[in-house]
Chains A and B, each alone.
Chain A
Amino acid sequence: MRVTALKVGATALTLATTVLSALYVTSHLKNPAAPLQPTVLRSGTTTLAGGTLTLGPSVQPSDVQPVTSTYAS
């Protein structure tokens, strides 16, 4: 009798744990469409007048006025 009660109790505990875990997981879904953190910077090749410009992820374009430029001298 005591053995049966232990078996029933263990089974009930297992089932309860499984159900509660399933409920917790379904109520805490991660959004697969969430943006990556940190943001992946823009990079790629752009064709401009006279040539092609390629920016790697560590060089960001900007709209501000440059203080100086690289040029042939």
Chain B
Amino acid sequence: MRRSQHLAAHHFEALGTTCSLFVVGQDRLLEGEAWTRRMGARLTRFSTDSELSGFNASAGRWFDISPDLEALLRESMHAFASSGGLVNVAVLPSMIGIGYTQPLLRGRPAATLTEMHPLPALPDVLEIKPGAARLEVGAGIDLGGIAKGWMADRLRESLGPNALANLGGDLSAGGVGPDGAGWPVGLAGVTVLLRHQGAATSSTRRRRWGGGEHHHLIDPRTGLPAQTGLEEVSVVATNGVEAEVVAKTALVLGPDLAPVFCAARALAWWLSP
């Protein structure tokens, strides 16, 4: 048994949620917080000054994007393909339609549910080339959980070989943890040990409004909040962004298909109806 090494932890509020960083053996936690805040400011759709809002406002023409946004958009295209279209970041029109136009911390939205349509296929509305991207007119991007999972993976890499980043439940663990056995992480009320793995939770139980009728997790097949018979899915996968994609896809698939999908793509999973 390896002896426990010094475990440094840092918690802060960013991205509209609670973030936690853990490192064994070195301390670059404040740099991690600063990076998280910078990325959050660039990728939020709630600020008109963000890079993502600038991109959304440029629909119909090519827009110069940073390497980080380009990487995220390419990751989103991959997520669309690997989820059979069930993870689709071209969800902004639906988000606006359900009234989710501001962070929930600023108050509950008023759902309108006007002009709700199935989402367009992402490759039909998003083109990417090195250093630039183009959206079709009428389309809009909300990176949502994919951004958190992707950022958790990047943070974990930058913090050191034995580190864990948790951005509001989207987490990425690298190395063997403080005791050499893996990072002890809570999943559905039990502790599991993660080594070089990620975890994420998708749920319709939080971020609800309209008397509990509406929530933020959109089913791309309808453009409406998902009603599939599953309310919460937690997943352990090979990294943070993969866990996010698998969890969201499983929740949208529902209780009949989710176990099969998770068995093919996840390392551990929690399904709650």
Chain A contact residues, CB within 8 Å of chain B: 48-56, 58-73
Contacts of A70 in B (CB 8 A): 166, 169-171, 185-187, 199-201, 234, 243
Query: CB distance B268 to A67 under 8 Å?
Result: no
Contacts of B17 in A (CB 8 A): 73
Of all chain A residues, the one with the shortest Cβ separation from B198 is: A70
How far does the alpha carbon of A51 sit from the alpha carbon of B262 in the complex, in Å?
A: 15
- The reply on B203 being an interface residue by CB < 8 A is yes
How many residues of B are counted as interface, with CB atoms below 8 angstroms from the partner's CB atoms? 52
- The reply on B117 being an interface residue by CB < 8 A is no
Majority DSSP secondary structure for residues of B touching A: strand
- Show 7 residue pairs from A and B whose CB-CB distance is below 8 angstroms, ordered by the A residue: A49-B189, A51-B273, A56-B236, A66-B185, A68-B20, A68-B164, A70-B234
**Interface-facing stretch out of B48-56, B88-96, B175-183:** B175-183
Q: How many interface contacts (CB-CB < 8 Å) are there between A and B? A: 115
Contacts of B271 in A (CB 8 A): 51-52, 54
Q: How far is the CB of A42 from chain B (nearest CB, A)?
A: 12
Query: CB distance A59 to B193 under 8 Å?
Result: yes
Assuming A50-B272, A53-B190, A72-B203, is B234 touching A67 (CB within 8 A)? no
Query: CB distance B191 to A72 under 8 Å?
Result: no
Of all chain A residues, the one with the shortest Cβ separation from B190 is: A61
Assuming A64-B191, A70-B200, A73-B206, is B269 touching A54 (CB within 8 A)? yes
Contacts of A56 in B (CB 8 A): 236, 266-268
Assuming A59-B236, A60-B182, A72-B232, is B7 touching A67 (CB within 8 A)? yes
- The reply on B222 being an interface residue by CB < 8 A is no
Of all chain A residues, the one with the shortest Cβ separation from B187 is: A70
Query: CB distance A60 to B192 under 8 Å?
Result: yes
Query: CB distance A73 to B169 under 8 Å?
Result: yes
Query: CB distance A62 to B184 under 8 Å?
Result: yes
Top 7 nearest A-B pairs by Cβ distance? A69-B186, A72-B203, A51-B272, A73-B168, A66-B186, A59-B268, A73-B17
Contacts of A60 in B (CB 8 A): 181-182, 192-193
Contacts of B263 in A (CB 8 A): 54
Query: CB distance A71 to B169 under 8 Å?
Result: yes
Q: How far is the CB of B26 from chain A (nearest CB, A)?
A: 17
How far does the alpha carbon of A58 sit from the alpha carbon of B195 in the complex, in Å?
A: 9
Assuming A56-B267, A58-B267, A64-B191, is B184 touching A72 (CB within 8 A)? no
